[in-house]
Amino acid sequence: MNSLLIGMFGALESVLRAIESLLVAVPLLRTIAYLTLVERKILAAIQRRRGPNVIGLYGVGTPLADGLKLFLKESIIPHDSDIGRFIISPIVTFILAIGSWGVIPFGDYIVLGNVNLGIMYRRAISSLSVYGIIVGGWSSNSKYALLGALRSAAQMVSYEVSIGLVICSVVVCAGSMNLCDIVVAQQDVWYIVPLLPIAIMFFVSVRAETNRHPFDLPEAEAELVSGYNVEYSSMGFALYFLGEMGNVIRMSTICAVLFVGGWYAPFGLLPSSSLWLSIKTMFFLAMFVWARAAYPRYRYDQRMRLGWKVFLPLSRGYLIIVSGRLLGFNGLL
């Protein structure tokens, strides 16, 4: 009887976990769909044109029409490709983009998994996401796709180092790797005030990590047609796209959590809520879109030089300065 009750409670807990995951995944997918519309509208406004305006009022039905079109299209698999890896690569990229949301807090300790090493979990998932791109480009058996995958791997390795050092500075200031504790530590002063230089470096680095403009060299249309996903069509292409946009939203949320106080209101004048985290995330998303319209694409050598010769020494030096000052203020030196 006891074993039966334990099994029932275990099954009930699994169901509840699945429901919690859906409560995060479904709104995220809807946000990704309409972020594409918002991005196209902002770019149209910057370039003084209308943008999508045919399907639905002001084009609000465009994301649904695009999704339906991709779902109904035929999936074409190259004849000489590694079929198994070719099919599974976009699925892996999409799953990793969704799975990393498990430790991101949406409000005052409102999080699926409030683990003490939440920032390390997020870093591990972010590091694994490159494998979906590398394997997808290699298994396509296409020179353009392979070059795009190699560029993406080099880009992620280059900027992951500086991102890790910036996060170390934040962890040193907060004294915890728990994302909720990092937000609570900013209740009085947001970290963007004392850590403004590395906050800017972090935002630029996450643009490179997510392959977004002006660091979208893995998808350079003029050189590589479409980069690592050139051979993908239908849902394979859609999953890569959903994974990329999901990473953009995730990194924008991480920027809000690490540097601008997460769910806390500015200056403490208003009550704290999840709405403030959403507003801050939308601000960083708007910066992603604005940079796409304002800046030209970096050359490959310029991008690598920026990561290894500029951001790496600066982030390492700032970590040493922050650690030394905190030790001095605490009377340990």
Residue range 173-216, pLDDT digits in tens: 888 888 888 888 888 888 998 889 999 999 988 888 887 878 77
Domain boundary (72, 98, 121) is at 72
In a shared domain, residues 150 and 261: yes
In a shared domain, residues 56 and 88: no
In a shared domain, residues 109 and 23: no
In a shared domain, residues 151 and 251: yes
In a shared domain, residues 50 and 111: no
Question: Could you give phi then psi for residue 3, rounded to 5 degrees?
Answer: -65, -35
pTM: 0.86
In a shared domain, residues 7 and 114: no
Domain boundary (18, 38, 72) is at 72
DSSP 16-45: HHHHHHHHHHHHHHHHHHHHHHHHHHHHHH
Q: What is the mean pLDDT of the chain?
A: 81
Domain boundary (72, 96, 131) is at 72
Domain count, the chain: 2
Instruction: Report the C-alpha gap between 66 and 73 in whole angstroms.
Output: 11
Burial pattern 106-141, b for ≥16 Cβ within 10 A else e, equals: bbeeebbeebeebbebbbebbeebbebbbbbbbbbe
Domain span at 67 = 1-72
In a shared domain, residues 48 and 87: no
In a shared domain, residues 42 and 93: no
Query: How high is the pLDDT of residue 291?
Result: 86
In a shared domain, residues 118 and 146: yes
pLDDT digits (tens, 9 = 90+) for 214-229: 877 766 665 556 677 7
pLDDT digits (tens, 9 = 90+) for 40-70: 888 888 888 888 888 878 888 888 888 888 8
Q: Nearest CA to 40 among 56, 55, 62, 57?
A: 62
In a shared domain, residues 101 and 48: no
Range 150-167 average pLDDT: 84
Query: How high is the pLDDT of residue 96?
Result: 85
